Amino acid sequence: MVPQPGESAPDFDLRTSRGRRLTLSELRGQRVVLIFYPFAFSGICTPELCGVRDMSRDFSDLDAITLGISCDSFETVRAFAEQESLRFELLSDFWPHGEVAKKYGVFFEKIGAADRGTFVIDREGVVAGSVITDLGTPRDPEKYKQILADID
């Protein structure tokens, strides 16, 4: 089930593209933009995440940390982050496969990948808003900025 605004964001413990473990709970006190994407190196995900990369200053100015999550392996997310010069962390939800995507209600069982879901989380770990589109529809990162701007 997709967490709704006002509900606590499910915690997780995942490996980052830089090789360390990261939990959502350790980011309490900071705003987080959590971007689930289906596949690294794909025709929609690559320009979508590069667009977020290009807006990184905007997110920083709104005091937000950006994280990308896919069900790709650690090696894949690491290579993707390096090749595309992504300055934000990518997280691997590879094993148990899609566990975090399932907690957020955005696991697409038929293809074994995360669907396109973005969750903006406030400093207390509460979902402030989300942007969810179907697999073939890219998201507009301006919508993430709007949600961030509306957080007190």
Distance, CA of 31 to CA of 20 (rounded, Å): 20
Q: By the 8 A CB rule, do 123 and 40 touch? A: no
Q: By the 8 A CB rule, do 24 and 12 touch? A: yes
What pLDDT score does 75 carry? 97
Catalytic residues: 45
What pLDDT score does 97 carry? 96
The DSSP secondary-structure symbol of 152 reads -
Helix 45-54 / helix 141-150 crossing angle, nearest 10 deg: 50
Domain 13-150 is found in CATH 3.40.30.10: yes
What pLDDT score does 102 carry? 98
Q: By the 8 A CB rule, do 118 and 37 touch? A: no
What pLDDT score does 50 carry? 98
Give the chain's residues under pLDDT 70.
none
What pLDDT score does 38 carry? 98
Distance, CA of 32 to CA of 35 (rounded, Å): 9
What pLDDT score does 17 carry? 95
What pLDDT score does 101 carry? 99
